[in-house]
Amino acid sequence: MESVKDKFLRYISVDTASDPDSDTQPSTNKQYNLLNMLAQELKAMGVKDASVDEFGYLMATIPSNLGQDGATVPTIGFIAHVDTAPDASGAGIKPKFFDNYDGSDIVVNSERGVILTTEEFPELLNYKGDTIITTDGTTLLGADDKAGVAEIMSAAEYLMNHPEFPHGEIKIGFTPDEEIGRGVDKFDVKRFGAQYAYTLDGGQIGELEYENFNAAGAKIYIQGRNIHPGYAKNKMVNAIILAAELNSLLPVDQRPEFTSGYEGFFHVVRLDGTVEQAMIQYIIRDHDMKRFEDKKCLLEECITFMNKKYGTGTLRLEMKDQYYNMRKEVEPHYHVVEKAIKAMEMAGITPLIKPIRGGTDGARLSFMGLPCPNIFAGGHNFHGKLEYVPVKSMEKASEVILNIVKLYSGK
């Protein structure tokens, strides 16, 4: 069998960045390159029905080997996304390896000053003796979520090579465009056919989440008035300055860099502009529904205030809810969480149950009728040049998948 590490390295060599400005599904055709590769690998393992549909969803089934005993065993799914975030380049990834990590600072790229220090990233010290894979300091790594993809593929290969391992029917799903909030827009839960599922899309080893943010996205379009700066007094309205003023009205302590745990935030993710026109974009997050709605109301009130100050229609808001806290849909099926806890303990892992400060495909799938908590994939510092993943964490995630399968089999 190919190691989970080698699978991961092959998968990150394929550029699969999604594109928020595209209106296609998937948003980039290059995601098909990895999806089709995975489908062929599954077929080569003996998973006969692996296929990729027109919307970029790969679905596959590993049939039960329990005979009549399997009739009462629920069908379990495992899901990961193939796209990487557009925040940093996902092309030409050149991984670096730090074997038998000794607990010192990791110099990722000395020329660019990209360094993983134990002072800033103390969690590194948890991985002494492990092999740590980093970027070369010029791209992201893609552990979000190709670590999850590799872990599911490794577990699938094990099951296909070990027919003595007891399991019910297993569903595998790989999705596109999760990083831009469209991962399950056209996911057919009925066709997928699982009763319960798990996303492999979390961070450090042991993470288990069945709570996530309520989420909204907001774009504010600002109309300025461009006048020659030599004659601009009392006439010019600079759209860039108005964007900065709007941002200053939002509470500083509710920015992501000042929040943790259950605290929500306003996160400005984009600003494009000239004097004449500008656009500022936010994501809004909170675990509590009331606080979530309060945040959206505050943004609306700020825009109303500025339109009174600068004239009706100067600022125009487009805001849309993206996903909601899955806890409401998962808790009635809490056994899915209990199985994951037990599976981690069987692997010698201490479960870290906490709210995820983000969202996964599983959050939306839970509201679509497929309870779907989230399990660690092992990576850290996603979406940037400081991303890394310990190899042992990926190996343990694949082991946890197999333990969940075994627990549901009742054997």
Amino acid at 407: L
User: How far is it, in rounded angstroms, from Cα 376 to Cα 366?
Assistant: 18
User: How far is it, in rounded angstroms, from Cα 282 to Cα 59?
Assistant: 33
User: How far is it, in rounded angstroms, from Cα 16 to Cα 8?
Assistant: 14
pTM over 0.75: yes
Instruction: Please confirm, yes or no, whether 119 is among the known catalytic residues.
Output: no
* Structure token pair of residue 19: 């594109």
β-strands 114-116, 214-223 pairing: unpaired
- Catalytic residue chosen out of the listed positions 83, 201, 209, 399: 83
| DSSP E strand boundaries for 21-164 | 51-52, 58-62, 76-81, 96-98, 106-109, 114-116, 132-134
Instruction: Please confirm, yes or no, whether 300 is among the known catalytic residues.
Output: no
User: How far is it, in rounded angstroms, from Cα 140 to Cα 320?
Assistant: 28
Among 3.20.10.10, 3.40.630.10, 3.40.800.10, 3.40.50.11780, name the CATH number for the domain at 4-211+325-409.
3.40.630.10
CATH 3.40.630.10 residue spans of the chain: 4-211+325-409
CATH 3.30.70.360 residue spans of the chain: 215-323
70, 168 in Cβ contact below 8 A? yes
Q: What is the pLDDT of residue 142?
A: 97
Cα dihedral 221, 223, 229, 233 in deg (nearest 10)? -120
**For the purposes of burial, counting CB atoms within 10 Å of the CB of 142, is it exposed (0-12), middle (13-18) or buried (19 or more)?**
buried
Amino acid at 316: R
Q: What is the pLDDT of residue 358?
A: 77
Residues with pLDDT less than 50, the chain: none
Give first-to-last CA distance, the chain, whole Å: 24
Q: What is the pLDDT of residue 71?
A: 84
The CATH number of the domain covering residues in 215-323: 3.30.70.360
Q: What is the pLDDT of residue 331?
A: 95
User: How far is it, in rounded angstroms, from Cα 311 to Cα 307?
Assistant: 5
- Catalytic residue chosen out of the listed positions 169, 177, 178, 179: 178
For residue 103, what is the DSSP state? S
